[in-house]
């Protein structure tokens, strides 16, 4: 059974949806562990807001979540550059550089 791919009308997005990553099981587990921790931090922040915790404490927790997400993003970016990007360049697909630059710009906002 093949996965269903949503049609957005954007060929670039459609092609990107067809690609898969090359993460090892160790890397997947590491990323999932980090994301589960971040998910718990988000729930904690929601609870802090519900309990009317002092704003500065909440803001510090938000900064911690942002830092943790940035860390996940850096790990993914590193793996992407060392595998997917190199592979596509070796195949002669230099458009991957523009894709990478767009992604990096989004991550740096």
Q: For residue 47, give the CATH number of its domain.
A: 1.20.58.1000
Judge whether 2 lies within some domain.
no
The pLDDT assigned to 5 comes to 39
Residue 28 belongs to some domain of the structure: yes
Q: What is the pTM of this model?
A: 0.76
Nearest-angstrom CA–CA distance, 89 and 19: 15
Answer whether residue 4 is part of any domain.
no
Least trusted range by pLDDT, from 7-11, 33-37, 82-86, 89-93: 7-11
Is 9 inside a domain boundary? Answer: no
- 58-106 residue pLDDT tens: 999 999 999 999 999 999 999 999 999 999 999 999 999 999 999 999 9
Residue 32 lies in a domain: yes
- Residues spanned by the domain of 85: 23-108
Q: Which residue from 75, 39, 81, 45 is spatially nearest to 62, judged by alpha carbons? A: 45
d(CA 51, CA 47): 6
Does 100 map to a domain? yes
Residue 21 pLDDT exceeds 90? no
Q: Tell me if 83 is assigned to some domain.
A: yes
Number of domains comprising the chain: 1
């Amino acid at each position: 059974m093949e996965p269903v791919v949503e049609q957005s009308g954007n060929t670039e997005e459609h092609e990107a949806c067809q690609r898969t990553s090359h993460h090892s099981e160790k890397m997947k587990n590491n990323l999932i562990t980090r994301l589960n921790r971040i998910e718990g931090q988000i729930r904690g922040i929601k609870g802090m807001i519900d309990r009317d915790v002092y704003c500065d404490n909440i803001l510090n927790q938000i900064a911690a979540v942002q830092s943790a997400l940035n860390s996940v993003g850096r790990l993914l970016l590193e793996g992407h550059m060392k595998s997917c990007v190199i592979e596509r360049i070796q195949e002669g697909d230099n458009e991957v550089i523009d894709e990478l630059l767009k992604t990096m710009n989004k991550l740096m906002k």
